[in-house]
Structure 1
Amino acid sequence: MITENQYFDGNVKSLGYETAEGKSTVGVINPGEYEFGTANKEIMHVVEGELIALLPNQTEWKSFKSGTSFEVEANSSFKVRAEVQTAYLCQYR
């Protein structure tokens, strides 16, 4: 089953699906700054564009460009900024 997700007044949209490894979403983030909470460990892959992230327990923002990824532990939160529309794959593990 494919699910549709929409957050932050439609500025973040994704399609969710599930594999043998777990749930994942593929989506697009419009320019802006957003804060996400995690229930599971998340592995965020930047497919196209760039995400600038403030990860848990960090004080400095870090850039993640196309082809890179970052991980966020379960039960935490993180912020991302996008300067341009950015495509991502998020795996929930």
Structure 2
Amino acid sequence: MDVFKGVDMAVKGNIYEEGKVTSRTYWTAEGERKTVGIMLPGSYSFSTSSNEKMEITNGGVEVQLASGGEWTGYREGGFFLVPAGVSFQIRCDGIAEYVCSYS
């Protein structure tokens, strides 16, 4: 997934954690909403309002989907699923890039 063609992209970015996590929302020709973003080293907490698939496109992250649960690592080419209405923890030691799909 190196290039997105034929998409509509929001001009305004999504900025979290004092700019340490940023993304841009775009819509595919089929109307699917996605975000493409970058995460600087750190630990973050997010919650979802819809089902989310997070694909790691560069670098690596560790994710804790359940409070007190195990941390699982994902590297470039990997992905994880987060159900709607769930909070999760994510951390990275280096810069990580990602694409999120929502349903």
- Common fold, TM-score beyond 0.5? yes
Instruction: Say if 2:14 is the partner of 1:5.
Output: yes
Spell out, residue by residue over 1:24-77, the C-alpha distance to the aligned partner (whole angstroms, 9 max, x if none). 100000000001100000000000000100013661100000100000000111
RMSD of the TM alignment (CA)? 1.4
> In 2, distance between residues paired with 1:21 and 1:59?
35
Q: What is the TM-score with the length of structure 1 in the denominator?
A: 0.93
2:63 aligned with 1:27, yes or no? no
Query: Aligned to 2:58, which of 48, 55, 62?
Result: 48
**Stretches of 4+ aligned residues off by more than 6 angstroms:** none
Aligned length: 93
Q: CA deviation at 1:11?
A: 0.2
Rg larger for: 2
- Write the letter of the residue equivalent to 1:41: N
Query: Quick one: percent identity of the two aligned structures?
Result: 34
Structure 1, unmatched stretches of 5+, are none
Unaligned runs of 5+ in 2: 1-8
1:72 pairs with one of 63, 79, 82: 82
Which structure: greater strand fraction? 1
Q: Output the TM-score relative to the length of structure 2.
A: 0.84
Between the two structures, name the one with larger relative contact order (CA 8 Å, sep ≥ 6).
1
Structure 1 distance, partners of 2:53, 2:31, is: 12
